Amino acid sequence: MTSLLLYLATGAAAGILAGLLGIGGALLTIPLLSWLFATEQLPDVHILHLALGTSLASILFTSLASLRAHHWRGAVHWPVVRGLTIGILAGSLLGSTLAARLSGQFLKGFFVAFLGFVALQMLLDMRPKASRSLPGRAGLLGAGTLIGGLSGLVGIGGGSLSVPFLVWCNLPIHHAIGTSAAIGFPIALAGTIGYILNGLATAGLPPGSLGFVYLPALAGVTLASICTAPLGARLAHRLPVKRLKRAFAFFLLLVATKLLLELL
């Protein structure tokens, strides 16, 4: 019961964060799940793999709610979604397959570097200038493969990668965010399949695991995040989001520092 309550709390915080700051809740979910899995004494060698797989599986459900909301507002650029999706599916599947074969220590180091990148991006408000048009079919395929691959590797929905790319390609910011929400689903779908399939033959996983997806955590995180994401969106219109985003960036830097010290 205690574990379930903690999973619900994790999902609730991730949902509010996603709605409030417009970033994927996975940046919070993965470190918290890693900590919770450690306190539950799940096998240390599999903790980060389970956190990444469970995070992507939860995005399967939360991305649908976000996609629907943005679609109703006409903020999803569907031709871009179609152009990116094939590459995203392939890249996310490859990224999750690669992650399943890498050591937990290497994955932790890569995740630390990614957290640092996202934190600096938020602190410095780094946004590329709209300096080019959208690429053709081959360009979108390549961009989708890269975005999907990195997202599958670090267990995220890809917004921190796809939104800057789309803004750089002259999409208005609201369309960039809405389109990013739409491509979060194929990222999560292919990535989840990869983490499940590559974990099925892995020995020593805890009961309740489906490959590298830990179902008790998935249920708690998903249920709570779906309920709280709309609350976060409403709070975004009342709270100083820029200050909160900077505060969260400092939190990410603290998490990255803690993980780095563990590695060292």
List pLDDT tens digits, range 109-144: 888 888 888 888 778 777 667 667 888 889 999 999
Specify the higher pLDDT residue, 258 or 195.
195
Residues in a beta bridge with 213 = 210
Hey, where are the domains in the chain?
2-263
pLDDT of residue 130: 66
Query: Are 132 and 230 a contacting pair, CB within 8 Å?
Result: no
Percentage of the chain lying above the pLDDT 90 cut: 32
pLDDT of residue 19: 64
With a cut of 70, say whether residue 218 has pLDDT above it: yes
Query: Are 259 and 108 a contacting pair, CB within 8 Å?
Result: yes
Tokens encoding 194? 């990869």
Specify the higher pLDDT residue, 258 or 214.
214
For 43, phi then psi, to 5°, come to -55, 120
Query: Looking at residues 62-71, what average pLDDT do you find?
Result: 76
Max mean pLDDT among 45-49, 103-107, 173-177, 248-252 falls in 45-49
List pLDDT tens digits, range 12-58: 888 777 666 656 667 788 888 999 999 999 998 899 999 999 999 99
pTM: 0.84
Query: Looking at residues 216-240, what average pLDDT do you find?
Result: 80
pLDDT band at 217 (very low <50, low <70, confident <90, very high): very high
pLDDT of residue 176: 82
pLDDT of residue 82: 93
Burial (CB count within 10 angstroms: exposed 0-12, middle 13-18, buried 19+), residue 242: exposed
Give the C-alpha distances (Å, rounded to integers) separating 125 from 147, 196, 249.
20, 36, 11
